[in-house]
Amino acid sequence: GQRELTEMVQQGAIQMTLVADGAVTGFYKPLQVFALPYLFPSSPVAWEFFHHPFTKAMQQDLLEKTGLRSVVWLENGFRNMTNSKQEVRTPADMQGLKMRTMESPVYMRFMESLGAAATPISFSELVMSLQQGVVDGQENASPNVYENGMADVQKFMSTTEHIYSVSLHLMNEDFYQSLTQGQRQIIMEGGQLEASLVNALKVATDRSYIERIRDEKGLQVHITTAEEKEQFRALSQEPVREYITEQVGKELVDQLLAAVAEAQKNVYGQ
């Protein structure tokens, strides 16, 4: 699983990996802040945030505390709900559903705040767990749902876009330091090029993936309205915020929200 990959990079068994933010929270708690529901109003705001001093400081702190160098942080996409039991329009429809989460307590808290039963399962075991009925559903970005087999074993999808998921390209710091200055520059500049391409591609293809999930895989897709998203936000944001604050402190959460507000102002001028 992704947690194991992160550990292998930290130990130097492999030099680099690409993992979701939730997989790294066990190594570095402050990354839990990205699981705050409806944190980013849009992808461009998140991209702007990635260049904010807050993010740069967090990447440096991650490096100092774990030995994991952030080559680049990328868009993994807004996460949506799928399940095999019933259509989900509002949080009331989540009651009693057995939902897989990443192996991250903050994602479990999010799912429980909606009335679902949260079950942490590694990504590598996810499809089998859905197939065998260990869990009823899961939440992931649309490309992941289509490309990794979840759409083959699910019946319903809702575009809740509840959490903006971040992918982290991480490198073992000892390996990085063993490289020449020129090699380091190639890697870091390559990361920025990767971000510009991947971020644009994710946004451009997200809608087409939703359509393919509906048309090719046969899932019943509900396009969640702004009013319905507000119901999800109202139920989940405060419990998750309280949990994250307990874990990392109010100061960091306040700094995060201020940085996001600044990024939003830079993008939209308001």
> Tens of pLDDT along the chain (270 residues)?
888 999 999 999 999 999 989 889 989 999 999 999 999 999 999 999 999 999 999 999 999 999 999 999 999 999 999 999 999 999 999 999 999 998 888 999 999 999 999 999 999 999 999 999 999 999 999 999 999 999 999 999 999 999 999 999 999 999 999 999 999 999 999 999 999 999 999 888 999 999 999 999 999 999 999 999 999 999 999 999 999 999 999 999 999 999 999 999 999 986
Query: 54 with 48: CB under 8 angstroms?
Result: no
Q: Which residues make Cβ contacts (< 8 Å) with residue 113, sequence separation at least 6?
A: 235, 236, 239, 240
CA 149, 150, 156, 158 torsion-angle sign: negative
**List of domains in the chain:** 2-253 (3.40.190.170)
What are the two backbone dihedrals, phi and then psi, of residue 224, each rounded to the nearest 5 degrees?
-65, 130
d(CA 162, CA 240): 12
pTM of the model: 0.90
DSSP summary character for residue 87? -
Helix 181-215 × helix 43-50 angle, to 10°: 170
